[in-house]
Structure 1
Amino acid sequence: MTRARYHIRFSKTGPLRWISHRDLLRLWERLFHRIDLKLAMTEGFHPKPRMNFPSALALGTASLDEIVELELAEPLSTEELTQRLCDDQQPGLEILRVTAVPEGWPKAKLKSTTYNLPIPEADRETLLKEIEALRQRDTIQLERKGKTLVFSLSAEIEHLGIEDGVLVFRCTPDQGASLRPTDLIEELKIIHLTDNGQFLTRTRVELENEFESTTSVTGQLTS
């Protein structure tokens, strides 16, 4: 059987930021059913769609750039697949780009994720001091599920700073447990901002060995 693999980049905003990763999986499965896609399935007694998210998004976090890797049992052109996805018009879910991945290309693997958090002017000076203090440290030590975890800041945080009143940071995953964005916010002593109307937004998901195709199709096609 000839299968075809695609990378679908999308945004997840508005009320959708309050659904869990498991619910997001179900949302995509229902969407694929509505637009009549023939999904490639795993083998075994309980087959599941061949669908892969390189990085699950935490509950309550919006995203301007997510990615799902999908395999279809019957190939479609990127134009046809993009058109079907855009026509569904799922609220809070915007299709940004669809790329056909060539046979033999490595499975999508996360390289880094970038986040931002608006910082009120009254908190910026204090936050700059916390950032500078954090840069003087080599590690962060956290308690998680009764275990003490130690994270290397140089290995986990690739970029950290305030840009135009917005905290911007880029995380790189570790092979084991990774530092969560909320862990960093707590270390910077600004977790209270998320209780006062501000929320994290993921702005970029970068893959290792990402396939850049000249036949990628952007969303917002018209019928």
Structure 2
Amino acid sequence: MFQLVLAAILVFAFFYLALRRGALVPGKLQFAGESAYGMVRNSIGRDIIGSHDFAKFVPYLVTVFFFLLVNNLFASVPIIQFPTFSRASMAYALAGLSWVVYNAVGIKKHGLVGYLKLQCVPSGVSPVMYPLLVPLEFFSNLLVRPVTLALRLFCNMFAGHLLIMLFATGGLYLIKDYGGGIGIVSGLAAWVLAIAIGFLEILVQFLQAYVFTLLNAMYIQGALADEH
């Protein structure tokens, strides 16, 4: 919980300090803030949701991306060294928020009945297939999405953290308890692998924040679309 609060403070402080002056010729911090905002705004919001509707969802997408990114990067910060979303409850809570957002958007635009029809009844399909396809579409689009969204985030964060701990403690065991030349060499190799996996995890931490936000944008776009 402390990490969640800390991440929120860090994200707010970064954008507040970067954009509070809004100079015509940006300094380094303002340039970094504008570039970070623009990356999510353009490559996720505008490109996925579309130029007509994307603007009102940009604050949400930017917040989700950087809040997730900071919490994921905690896994690589000395002393903390724990990814917040390697706790499943945290991932499910964030996925639940996403579920509420994109369903609320769809219901607001199409109405409850129209939205359910949009999500559950595929276009261009014979009504004969409805008894088979409608339950599958309902299950897939309305029930499974938040579960898979949370599991993808949780499993990647948990697995990476577990791998680093495995190689780090395994290397210590080989050097301290196994002993001998083989144990020392194997232990040092395990530590090298732990460091290499740690750098790889930084990339995974960024990608998971990006994928989570990208899927949010795709679900919002699907909720706004007139057919699927």
- TM-score range normalised by the length of the shorter chain: under 0.3
Give the TM-score normalised by the residue count of structure 2.
Answer: 0.25
Q: Which has the higher strand share?
A: 1
Give the TM-score normalised by the residue count of structure 1.
Answer: 0.25
Q: Which has the higher helix share?
A: 2
Larger radius of gyration: 2
